Structure 1
C-alpha cells in the first residue's frame, strides 16, 4: 500500500505514519511525497494486533464479573424448567424433560442458539421461557429451526410470549429456507391468559397461516410427545410429516372432558385421539415411534430423503444393491392375475437395501406410499398392494396417495408407480365414503406432478387405476411393463360378464358354455396383454423383470433434469 503525504512531512513522521497504517490495515505500507520519493516504510509482521485466527487468546485473568455471574444464574434457573413436582411426573409418563429432549436431538455441539430465553422472566407466576423453547440447531448435518414445549410449565400450554416466539421462528424459516422441527407437548392455548394472543393478528391463529405459507417451501416435521388438544392439534396436521409416540401422545379437537360435556360420550384420550386412531382411521399420523429415541431415529431417516427447501434437489446417498437379487422378480409375481402377493417382494428387489421408509402403513393399506432410494437417488414409491383388498383403490388409499404424490412433487422427489390394481373399488359404501372425490384428488396430484415419473405395469392395470397410477396419458417419462402386465377397461371375468352374459346364458350345455367362456377369456386376455399395448406403442416397452432395477436406474438418471411446465394459472381447484 502506498500513502502519499505532503513534502514538509519529516522522515520520522513518515515512519510513524507507515507503522500505524500497517497495523491498522494489516498490510505493508510505503509513505511517499508528492514527487514519489520514499520517506518511510513499514512491513506488517502479523504482530499482536494481527494475531492469526488459530492463536489462543491471551488470558489476562479478567474473569466473569458479578453482573455476568448473576445473569448466568438467572439463565440456569430458567433452563431448570417449571416446578419440581411437575418434573417428577415426567418419568411416570415415559417423558424426558424438554431440555434433555433437546440434548437427545441435537447434543451440545448441535444446539446452536436459543431465542426468547427470558420470555415472561418477570411474571408473577413461574413461567420460565413461557413454556416454549425456540432456536436454531444442527440435526443430521442439516441446519434446522425448532420449537419444543416445556410440559412442566402449565402443561406446555401457549400464551402471548410463547406465541410470539413460535411465530418468529416460523417467519425466520421462510427467510432462511431451512426445515422446521416441531417437538410438541402442549395442552393448547392458556385459557386463563387468552387476552393478547388468541384472536390477534399476530396471535395463535397466525400459526396456521404461517404453516400454510411454509407448506411445500420447507419440510415441516412434527413429533408429538403428549396430548395436543384443540388449537395445538393443528400444528401436527399442518406439518408435512407427523410422528406420534406410542403410549404417550394424542391429538384431538377437544379433550375427553369437553367431548363428554358436548356430546355425552365418555371416552379416554387414547381412544379419542391416540396413535392407533390416527394411524389406522384418520390417517393423520405418518409414523409411530415406540419411545423418544425411536422418534428421533425415524425423523433422522425421514429427513435424509428431503431437501432443505423446494429450490433444492433431495440429497443423494451412497448407492447400494437391492436386498434381494432382481432376477427373482418374475418368480414372486403369481401367474394367476387374481392371486395375492406382497408388493414389497418386488420393491425389495428394485430399491437400495435398507432404504425403504413406508409412511402411513396402517391407513389405506391397499396402496403403499414409501420413500426409498434407487442407485442412491431418493424416490417416492406409489404401489398397489395385492395382498390387501386385491390392490383395489378405496377412498382412504386414494387420499393417502394423493397427499404423498403432492408432497414428493413439492420437494423435487421423483416418483415411481408400481401398478397392480383392478381399479377403483365400486359399491354403495365407497360412494358414501367419497370414492369419486378422493379418486379425483389422486388423479389430479398425478396429473400436476412435475417431477420425473416412471410407471411400471407389474400385473393388472384395469379401469381408472391406470390413470391414477400415472399411465401413458399422465405424462410419465416412461411407461414400461413386465410380461405379467395387462391393461384394460376391466378384467376378463368382469368383461365377459358385462358383454356376453346373455349369450352364455343361452347355452344349455354346461361343458359347451365353459368352453365358450374359456375361449372368450383367452381372446380378451390377448387383447389387454402388454405386448399388444407395446406393439401399438401405447406403452414404451415390455422388459425382462430381472432388468427392472437397471432400467429404473438408467431412466431416473436420464430424466433427472427434465423440465415440465404447468398451465399459467393461480392454482387448480381440486385439492
Structure 2
C-alpha cells in the first residue's frame, strides 16, 4: 500500500503513519512526503498468527504423549546395551545424520549445510499390538542430507533386534516405491536380524511382502543412488539390501552380513564359526567385495557418505554436481619422474592421480578388494570423474578376477549416473594360471570388457606405461570408443611384454646359441627391437592412438578433453538388454 502525505510533514510523522496503517490494514505500507519519488518511511505488516483463547485440547495432548512414547523405542534394557556395542539409539542416529548440529549422539560433522529431518511415515505402525512394537521397529521418511532431499529407512534394534514383520515391510516398500516416483536417492540405515520368523504369515511370501524389497531394489538400481550403511548383524533376507545397494559401508566392530547366522551354519554344515569370521567387515571388504568401505564408527560412516554423495546426481536424468576447482595436491611436472621406464618396476599409481585430480578429491572405493585395479571418484577442475586405474604396486598391475569384477561394477555405476570415466592404463594384461582360471578370469574379464563397451558416458584413456594383451581392451583402448586415447612417453602397447614375447617367438632360436655371452647379447638386441615396435611413438605413427603428451601437461590435457566432449552422444544398439551382466 502506498500513501502520500502533505509536504510539510516530518519523517517522524511518516514513520508513525506507516506503522499505524500497517497494523490496522495488515498490509505493507510505503509513506511518501509531498511529491517525493522515494518513500520517507516503510512498515511491514505483522503476519504472525493472531493470539486467541483457543489452544491444544486434551485430545491433542494425548496424541503428543503417544508420539513421545513411540519415539522412546523398545524396552529400556535394550537401549542400555547400545553404548556397550558402540551404537547409537536409532533416533539419535537419525539426528546424527540429518540434524548434526543439534545431535547429542556424537561429534558434529563438517557439513555446514542446513540438513534436517523432514518427516516420518508410519510412526503408529503396530500401535494396537498386544506386544510393545514402537513403529514396528522401522523408521521411514524424508530428510535433507548434505543439501539434497533423500528417502531413508532405519531399523530400531531395541524392537525385536530390528527384525522385520508385516507393518515394517509395508513401510519399507512404500518408501522404495515413492523413491521410484520422486527420483530422489535412498539411504538404508540397516540394523536388522532379518525377518520376524514367528510372525512370517502376512509378509514373507506375499506379493507385497519382504521379497518385494529386492524387486524394488532392482527397479531402483541405476535410477537413483542407493546407499546402505550397516550398523549391526544383517542376517538372511536383511543381508540382501546391502548387496543390492550401489554403495555399502560397514562399521568396524559392529557390522556383519551373512546368508545365515553362525548357529544356522553349524546346524546345516557343522562348521563352527563366529559372526565376525563368517561375515564381518574384513570378509566383505577384502574377500567377497560386498562392502565398498569400512568406517571406524558411526560418525565416520556418516562422513564417508557425505563425501560420497558430492560425486553423485540425484538420479539418472541429472548430471553430477560440480564444485569449485582446486589445484592438484602435487605439481603435475613430477609425473614423469614417478613412472619408471622399466615395465616391470613397481610404483604407486596414487602418486600419478594426486598430480592430476583436484587436491584431496580422490575417493577410492573397495581399496582392499582386487587392489590391482583402483576405482574411485575424483574432481577434475571441479567436475566429477570416475577413475579406473591399474595399480603397478600390486602384483605389477595384472588384472585378477576380483579386480576385473570390481572394475566392471564401478564402470556400470558411473555410466548409470552420468559420471565420465578416466582410465589410467599400466598393466601386463589379464593374469594367467590354473588358479585364476578356476576363479573365473575369463568370466570376470568378460564383464569388465562388456561394461567398458556399453558405457555411453565420455571416456578418456591414458596409456601411462605398459598396455599389454587384452589389458588394453579392458582399459578402454582405441577399439572401445573412448573420446581420446592419449599416451605418456613411457607408454608401450603390444600383445605382450618384451620378456614374454622373446620367450614365445625366439626361445628355440636362442637355445641353439651355445655361447652364453652371444645368447645374452642376441636376447638383449631382440628385446630392444621388440620394445621399439611396441613404443607409443610407433603407435602414434600408425595413428593407433590420438596423441603423445608431455606428462606435466596431463591434467590440463584431460581437463580440456573432458570439457570438450562433455555433451557427446552415444547410442547403444536397439535391443532389450545385453546378456553379460
Residue deviations 1:72-102, cap 9 Å, x none? 0000000000000100100010000000000
User: Residue 58 of structure 2: which of 51, 66, 70 is its match?
Assistant: 66
1:214-363 residue pairs with structure 2 within 5 A? 214-363=220-369
1:128-527 residue pairs with structure 2 within 5 A? 128-527=134-533
For residues 60 and 105 of structure 1, the distance between their equivalents in structure 2, rounded to whole angstroms, comes to 38
Q: How many angstroms does 1:337 deviate by? A: 1.1
For residues 367 and 347 of structure 1, the distance between their equivalents in structure 2, rounded to whole angstroms, comes to 13
1:3-152 residue pairs with structure 2 within 5 A? 47=25, 55-107=47-99, 110-152=116-158
Task: Give every structure 1 segment of 4 or more consecutive aligned residues whose post-TM-superposition deviation is greater than 6 Å.
Answer: 49-54
Residue deviations 1:373-411, cap 9 Å, x none? 100000000000000010000000000000000000000
For residues 62 and 332 of structure 1, the distance between their equivalents in structure 2, rounded to whole angstroms, comes to 76
Residue deviations 1:351-373, cap 9 Å, x none? 00010110000000100001111
For residues 335 and 45 of structure 2, the distance between their equivalents in structure 1, rounded to whole angstroms, comes to 59
Q: How many angstroms does 1:336 deviate by? A: 1.2
Q: How many angstroms does 1:53 deviate by? A: 9.1
Q: How many angstroms does 1:511 deviate by? A: 1.0
Residue deviations 1:243-269, cap 9 Å, x none? 000000100000000000001111110
SS of 2:538's equivalent in the other structure is: helix
What's the counterpart of residue 562 of structure 2? 556
Output the TM-score relative to the length of structure 2. Answer: 0.90
SS of 1:244's equivalent in the other structure is: strand
Report if aligned partners of 2:23, 2:46 keep a CA contact under 8 Å in 1. Answer: no
SS of 2:529's equivalent in the other structure is: helix
For residues 117 and 46 of structure 2, the distance between their equivalents in structure 1, rounded to whole angstroms, comes to 23
1:572 correspondence with 2:568: no
Q: How many angstroms does 1:64 deviate by? A: 1.1
What's the counterpart of residue 16 of structure 1? none
SS of 2:316's equivalent in the other structure is: coil
Report if aligned partners of 2:121, 2:140 keep a CA contact under 8 Å in 1. Answer: yes
For residues 115 and 61 of structure 1, the distance between their equivalents in structure 2, rounded to whole angstroms, comes to 32
For residues 481 and 80 of structure 2, the distance between their equivalents in structure 1, rounded to whole angstroms, comes to 58
Q: How many angstroms does 1:144 deviate by? A: 0.1
Identify unmatched segments of 5+ residues in structure 1.
Answer: 1-43
User: Residue 545 of structure 2: which of 539, 542, 566 is its match?
Assistant: 539
Q: How many angstroms does 1:45 deviate by? A: 11
What's the counterpart of residue 108 of structure 2? none
For residues 499 and 267 of structure 1, the distance between their equivalents in structure 2, rounded to whole angstroms, comes to 51
What's the counterpart of residue 12 of structure 1? none
For residues 571 and 62 of structure 1, the distance between their equivalents in structure 2, rounded to whole angstroms, comes to 63
SS of 2:149's equivalent in the other structure is: strand
Q: How many angstroms does 1:279 deviate by? A: 0.3
Q: How many angstroms does 1:57 deviate by? A: 1.2
Q: How many angstroms does 1:334 deviate by? A: 1.0
For residues 63 and 553 of structure 1, the distance between their equivalents in structure 2, rounded to whole angstroms, comes to 62
Output the TM-score relative to the length of structure 1. Answer: 0.91
For residues 96 and 507 of structure 2, the distance between their equivalents in structure 1, rounded to whole angstroms, comes to 66
SS of 1:233's equivalent in the other structure is: helix
SS of 2:377's equivalent in the other structure is: strand
SS of 2:359's equivalent in the other structure is: coil
Q: How many angstroms does 1:50 deviate by? A: 10
SS of 1:88's equivalent in the other structure is: helix
Q: Point out the more displaced range, 325-334 or 59-68.
A: 59-68
Q: How many angstroms does 1:62 deviate by? A: 2.1
For residues 83 and 407 of structure 1, the distance between their equivalents in structure 2, rounded to whole angstroms, comes to 41
Q: CA RMSD in A?
A: 1.4
For residues 551 and 577 of structure 2, the distance between their equivalents in structure 1, rounded to whole angstroms, comes to 39
